Chain A
Amino acid sequence: MVRIVIDPVTRTTGGLRFAAEMRDGSVVDARCSGTTYRGFEQMLVGRDPMDVVYYTQRICGMCSTPHAIAAAGAVESLCEASGEVPKDALVIRNILNGLAWIRSHVENLYLSFLPDLADPFYWELLKFSDTGTALYGELASRFNVPGYASAVMTAPGSAYADAVRCVKLIGETEAILSGRSPHGPAIVPGGVTARPTASDLSRLKSNYAAIVDFLERRLTAPLSLDQWLANTHAGTPDPNYILDHVNALPLKDLSAGKGWNDMMLFTVFGSRMMSSDFLALPVYIELDTLGGYPLLDQLIGFLNHGAFYRVRDGYAPLDAAQADAYQVAPGFTAGSLQNLFASAESPDPARIAEQVGSSFYTYSGAGLAVPPAGGETIPAGSAADIDYAGQKYSFVKAPRYGGVPCEVGPMARMINSREPFIFNIMKMLHDSNSRFAAGKRYTMTSVYTRALSRMQETLVVARWLGDWINNDLEVHDSARRYCVPVTLKSGRAGACLTEAPRGMLGHWIRVDHNSRIAGYQIVSPTTWNASPRDNETRYGPMELSTIGIKTTPRGNMPGSEANPLSLYHIIRSFDPCVSCAVHTIRGK
């Protein structure tokens, strides 16, 4: 038995530890730990509910906007004002949120996930053929982290540098409406404070064009964003499109100018199925065999709430049953993916409860699984109780949906919306299993489909963002309203469920009879994905997806325990954000 501990898992927001027990070369047990406690609970209790937006934004410097939207939504629900928030305010919130999603996805892909493909290990794996050498050259020259010694260079990769510029540009674009980024103050209960001028609008449009330019250059070229989505996403696209498309790419030259944009490079060479089975190439990194699940309904589910308001006055904060209430429809799909040909179930927020059997907390009451709207949490109070090898091993709690651990985030949303491109790839993976020798298999959910989901979703959201900026946003005039006054009601509760880029985000608020906060609770995306075991010792999604894997996608290579790339790929494909997961904002 060998125990591998990755601590810290870097290129995340920090505070993440991952431990894996290996037996006979396979992971047989895993522990995912959040290692910081931030204890906001006393902080919010007793404060003015109007302040929650500015406080909870500061849980996460990456998801500042989604937290602002959820916090404003919780107060609006408390004040029964959700139905009154003006359309122009919701358009501005959509634009800010859309920008936040694109930035978050770009950061995960280029600053966190893709750089692992430039690891020197892959040079050793790929250097034996011309295509392999060319492939590694592309991976390193595009994705290398500055200062990290990939086999061929230490300078930042071209895609890395490009992404850093894009991230900055997105910040500038957000600031036009939000004042600054991160933590702009424009989103408030009742609407937004911003009133766009003609010059704001023209700056937004030109910045938007530059963002699309980046996305096309990196992910769709030579196709435009619209062409790519028309071929893979809109309506009922031809399932053979992607195979025809990759078949037409030249294998002698893997440069971006020849159609090998980052998404194509990943689509083909990040998959054994695509490169070996369909293109008969001996060169691949089999991420389609890594980071999936044993597909059982009781072990895993895929969950999301609604995201992005419809362009009209008012919205429904918790009304998941209303299928067309949001641009992204809420959904739940059970782990077996048996029902992939039917649409996703409509989730019931009342089935969400959190457990602390493996977390450094206790509940004071008798309850073992407590719904976010109520309950009290007490953190481990002495240093001796904080032991990552103990029965309790994380500052992250374990939220469960009807008792089932759920993956949240882009892949869950793509599964629940049956997004055609991802659906089609998953189906190909499923159908290709017959090509594999017994004992090995492709999994429909994997590092490969998780990362592809993030890429595809970035493009889909970019398309919507264009509609909001170019069609729906209008220059301020005296007839337009951006904020309605909200009247605090004492002794009440409110809630808002929405989606952050990394997945489902919920805020729950209770106020006392002086209209001060009596309780506040947040369940963030990473709380779902990075959760530890629950009371019944069921693994959290990240833990579960590592069971049975080898240290590298190619198997256990000599010395690879000291550089276990499989674990890096899996963990970073979830885009964990521990700042969000260990907020534990909960009042008494």
Chain B
Amino acid sequence: MYTISKTMVTGFALGDGMDTERQKDGSGLPAFGRRTFLTMAAAAGAAVFLASHAPAVAAAVADADKKILWLRGAGCGGCTASFLNGGNPDILAAIENIRIELSYHDGLMGQQGIFIDEKQGNTERFNSIARMDNLINAGGYLLVVEGAIPNGPDGSGKYGVIGSRIRNGQIESLTMKTAFRDAAENADAILAIGTCAAFGGISAAGGSATDARGVAYTGSSRFKGIMGELGMKKDVINVPGCPPHPDWLLLTIADMVTGAPIETDDYRRPAAFFREAVHTSCPRRGYYDDARRDGSLAEGRCLYNLGCKGPVAYADCPVRRWNAGASMCTQTGGPCIACVEPEFPDAFSPFFSRIEDRNLLGGINIDTGAKIILGGAVLGAGIHAVKRIAIGDSDREEEPPKEKGKRGL
């Protein structure tokens, strides 16, 4: 069966229950210490949580003062766009609350890489590559990876170049693969954000021509991540989503900078966000249970027959909602495409084909009379089996790698 594995980012022991200790100052606010913001805040949402608990968070992370080195590989920039949608009133305030310093992010930083003939121009005050080098040399940062890491052609990584650098007196291309290797080596912790960095995602779909990889995984295979390719063993937390919700990012970052333990599932996703199927709390669930399922788009009822993958996608979108609670995919009539799952997108497309037509249920026809009467119960009983079929079987994680059949259905 599907189990939650407890993973620790750092050497801290798992905290005890969050409500067993109160702050000594009599404020009644929970003390944070090494307890996880994430578990406590999961229900509230990062925006609300960080606003109402800012002093406590600040106290907990007072000596953390973590720098973030954020690398971007092959992707669309949507993860950064989603990150900018976070916080209350804005992401700048949230960063302030968590006390982190976004030291390197090529989409947001003031500096740029500058080279004059075969020399590096300027210092880290102006030069982004100098800044990256200094960060890596100093170590002790949180490495955030956005986008997949191209391995091609022929393992050179040159399909993904993110800058230049000087080596042996000459200017040369810095590939994402090399930058990741160097930065991961000295990182305190690694966070892969978005489905591309976590699992390869869109960038690795359909036997990608660039041989793009996730950080620790490609698809559901732990052996095909870029770390496997590089022979590295480091713990990685995955916050997938295409793009990921900003709350998922902020709360996970908040926990990681304090070194709090993060409970994760088999794919190293924080369990607090990726435990329940989208279908479980979908705003259109009532229509599903009443068997009122739309046959064409924009009719306003359950999207199951239009190909909704909510029953096999595990994320708290319906409870959390997106963009400060504005809406979410199925609420607006778009089928869930399971954008958080390791085998996204291949296992879930054609997006407008029903789950059983994708053979995800192993022959169970959930549209039978019994199913309709029992509503979600039957599906619920089979859900873990379904999930394994959909996202891949991770029981064999510790076995030597072997070629798995393509799960693209």
A183 touches B333 (CB 8 A): no
- Does more than half of chain A's interface fall in helix, strand or loop, or is it mixed? loop
Q: Which of A168-176, A218-226, A329-337, A426-434 contacts B (4 or more CB under 8 A)?
A: A168-176
Name A61's contact: one of B77, B322, B324 (CB within 8 Å): B77
On whether A177 and B332 interact (CB within 8 A), knowing A51-B350, A382-B153, A383-B156, the answer reads: yes
The answer to whether the Cβ of A380 comes within 8 Å of any Cβ in the partner chain is yes
Q: Which residues of A contact B78 (CB under 8 A)?
A: 58, 60-61, 64, 182-183
Query: How close is A65's CB to chain B, nearest CB, in angstroms?
Result: 12
On whether A171 and B108 interact (CB within 8 A), knowing A50-B350, A180-B329, the answer reads: no
**Which residues between 133 and 187 of chain B lie within 8 Å of chain A, taking CB atoms?**
150, 153-154, 156, 158-164, 171, 173
Q: Which of A40-48, A271-279, A530-538 contacts B (4 or more CB under 8 A)?
A: A40-48
Q: Which residues of B contact A379 (CB under 8 A)?
A: 159, 209
Q: Which residue of B lies closest to A67 (CB)?
A: B76
B111 touches A171 (CB 8 A): no
Q: Which residue of B lies closest to A577 (CB)?
A: B77
Number of interface residues, chain B, beta carbon within 8 A: 88
Q: Which residues of A contact B383 (CB under 8 A)?
A: none
The answer to whether the Cβ of B258 comes within 8 Å of any Cβ in the partner chain is no
Q: Which residue of A lies closest to B71 (CB)?
A: A14
Query: How close is B130's CB to chain A, nearest CB, in angstroms?
Result: 11
The answer to whether the Cβ of B35 comes within 8 Å of any Cβ in the partner chain is no
On whether A172 and B326 interact (CB within 8 A), knowing A50-B351, A165-B89, the answer reads: yes
Q: Which residues of B contact A78 (CB under 8 A)?
A: none
Name A48's contact: one of B89, B334, B350 (CB within 8 Å): B350
B112 touches A193 (CB 8 A): no
A179 touches B112 (CB 8 A): no
A193 touches B334 (CB 8 A): yes
The answer to whether the Cβ of A386 comes within 8 Å of any Cβ in the partner chain is yes
Q: A369-390 interface mask toward B, CB cutoff 8 Å, 1 = contact, 0 = none?
A: 0000000000111110010100
B121 touches A562 (CB 8 A): yes
On whether A14 and B350 interact (CB within 8 A), knowing A180-B323, A482-B298, the answer reads: no
B327 touches A180 (CB 8 A): yes
Q: Which residue of B lies closest to A179 (CB)?
A: B332
The answer to whether the Cβ of B85 comes within 8 Å of any Cβ in the partner chain is yes
Q: Tell me the complex Cα distance, A50–B92, Å.
A: 39
B324 touches A172 (CB 8 A): yes
Q: Which residues of A contact B76 (CB under 8 A)?
A: 13, 58-61, 64, 579
The answer to whether the Cβ of A317 comes within 8 Å of any Cβ in the partner chain is no
Q: Which residue of B lies closest to A192 (CB)?
A: B298
**Which residues between 71 and 98 of chain B lie within 8 Å of chain A, taking CB atoms?**
72-82, 84-87, 89-92
Q: Which residues of B contact A5 (CB under 8 A)?
A: 113-116, 164, 171
Q: Which residues of A contact B110 (CB under 8 A)?
A: 10-11, 115, 144-145, 147-149
A42 touches B328 (CB 8 A): no
Interface size class, chain A: 35 or more
Q: Tell me the complex Cα distance, A558–B146, Å.
A: 38
The answer to whether the Cβ of A491 comes within 8 Å of any Cβ in the partner chain is no
Q: Tell me the complex Cα distance, A85–B86, Å.
A: 34
Q: Tell me the complex Cα distance, A203–B326, Å.
A: 9
Interface core residue of A6, A7, A147 (most chain B CB under 10 Å) = A7
Q: Which of B57-65, B199-207, B226-234 contacts A (4 or more CB under 8 A)?
A: B199-207
Q: Which of B99-107, B249-257, B359-367 contacts A (4 or more CB under 8 A)?
A: B99-107
On whether A179 and B327 interact (CB within 8 A), knowing A61-B78, A61-B80, A164-B90, the answer reads: yes
Q: Tell me the complex Cα distance, A14–B106, Å.
A: 7
Query: How close is B325's CB to chain A, nearest CB, in angstroms?
Result: 8
List residues of chain B with CB under 8 Å of any chain A CB.
72-82, 84-87, 89-92, 101-103, 106-117, 121-122, 125-126, 128, 150, 153-154, 156, 158-164, 171, 173, 202-203, 205-210, 242-243, 296-298, 300, 317, 322-324, 326-335, 337, 339, 345, 349-353
What are the 5 tightest A-B residue pairs by CB atom distance, in nearest-first order?
Answer: A185-B334, A148-B110, A61-B78, A193-B333, A39-B209
- A to B CB contacts below 8 Å, 17 in the list: A7-B113, A8-B162, A10-B112, A14-B72, A43-B205, A47-B206, A54-B337, A59-B76, A145-B108, A156-B92, A168-B86, A184-B332, A188-B297, A192-B298, A193-B332, A563-B114, A563-B122
